[in-house]
Amino acid sequence: MLSTEKHTGRDIKTILAERDLDGDGELWQKRLEKISTGDVEKALSEPVGTYSFEKLLALVSPAAENYLEEMAQLSHQLTVQRFGRTIRLYAPLYLSNFCTNSCRYCGFNRENKFKRTRLTTQQAVREGDIIASEGFRDILLVSSEDKELVTIDYLTELARKLRDKFSFISIEVYPIRSAEYAKLFEAGIEGVTLYQETYNRRAYSYYHPSGPKSSYENRLDSPERIAAAGMREIGLGVLLGLTDWRVETLALAEHARYLIKRYWQSHVSFSFPRLRPAYEVAGSQFEHLLSDKNLVQMIIALRLCFADFGLILSTRERAELRDHLVNLGITKLSAGSKTNPGGYSGHSGAIEQFEVDDNRSPVRVAAMIKEAGFEPVWKDWDSAFVKD
């Protein structure tokens, strides 16, 4: 039997290796199949919002699929208790689709042949103006690994030009050093999202055959560098569909627990990006695509273990599913998203990173949130409160 004892004083690489969560997951898949209804009921009897590895193991097991209604109700109640009846709204701003990586699941893959697009800071500000005019005060700056344009100085300059328009600015770019994250924080960037993509080392190597992103360790160590720089929010996630979602959820939770035990000042959130069609990417090549039912299970299982974590859902998901998930624990949604540089101005035919599935306008998404009995929040009030 694999050890499930607490691991204190170890780095995340060691924790994952000792639990065999960075391997192919066969041992955990067998263990998951042996989880009984009694194990699930025991997990559900534990205080909601508290984490233990054994509890999450039971809640993501196949046996727990028969308890999704009960889990969903508990997740809803806990989320309303901790977050109120509010849903934050944000928009991504893509800066470049030039890339030095060859990720097999991404439309920006450097091997793909298409006309690449970069935004100058002036062009990016114009896109930001459009996003702000739609009501957003929470913006996510996204870029491929394009260090020729998207440098620390570029991001610093852009943040300083945008921070009067937005109450919260975050980034989703390539990993950098802690001192560089600190520089961005000083410029007004307060959150960083960085997906490990997969904790399975062999799968990681296959899906990232070349480029700087091929370094598993550099990716894995980055959230700790983010936290050490004083960032307010750290976004974690895996790209759902690359490997077994149940084992990935266990690894993701251990990573989150590791961070919050050492960097309690930072707020951690989970995102749930499922693979989507992209330029030159065929969905048939992925063997681990998960169902809507299992996506719901993953979301509510994590909520029942992490009471105060933000749970974020993007426009990768179709409208009907997003409408449903608003009631089950999601605390933040993107809306009206464009995943190509220049997409908001309508003047760019640039290739998208992936195809969005919920094409509703921000106004329509806000209306849906109200109809569900929640309040759409365009501004990060916590951020506004702590600023001078």
- pLDDT tens digits for 3-28? 333 445 689 999 999 999 999 999 99
Q: Please report whether residue 3 resides in a domain.
A: no
Q: What is d(CA 185, CA 387) in angstroms, rounded to the nearest whole number?
A: 13
Q: Please report whether residue 86 resides in a domain.
A: yes
Q: Please report whether residue 2 resides in a domain.
A: no
pLDDT of residue 14: 97
Residue 276: pLDDT band with limits 50, 70, 90: confident
Residue 349: pLDDT band with limits 50, 70, 90: confident
pLDDT of residue 5: 37
Q: Which domain holds residue 376?
A: 12-386
Q: Note the maximum CA span of the chain.
A: 59
Q: Coil, strand, or helix at residue 161?
A: helix
**By C-alpha distance, which of 181, 136, 194 is closest to 336?**
136
- Strand ranges (DSSP E) for the chain? 86-94, 138-142, 168-172, 191-193, 233-236, 267-271, 310-313, 332-334, 375-377
Q: Does residue 347 surpass a pLDDT of 80?
A: no
Residues 6+ apart with CB under 8 A from 207: 103, 104, 105, 197, 198, 242
- Strand ranges (DSSP E) for 227-318? 233-236, 267-271, 310-313
Domain of 186, CATH number, reads: 3.20.20.70
pLDDT tens digits for range 156-177: 999 999 999 999 999 999 999 9
Q: Please report whether residue 1 resides in a domain.
A: no
Q: Please report whether residue 298 resides in a domain.
A: yes
Domain total in the chain:
1
Q: Please report whether residue 4 resides in a domain.
A: no
Q: What is d(CA 32, CA 52) in angstroms, rounded to the nearest whole number?
A: 15
Q: Please report whether residue 341 resides in a domain.
A: yes
Q: Is 48 exposed, middle or buried (0-12, 13-18, 19+ CB in 10 A)?
A: middle
**pTM to 2 decimal places:** 0.93
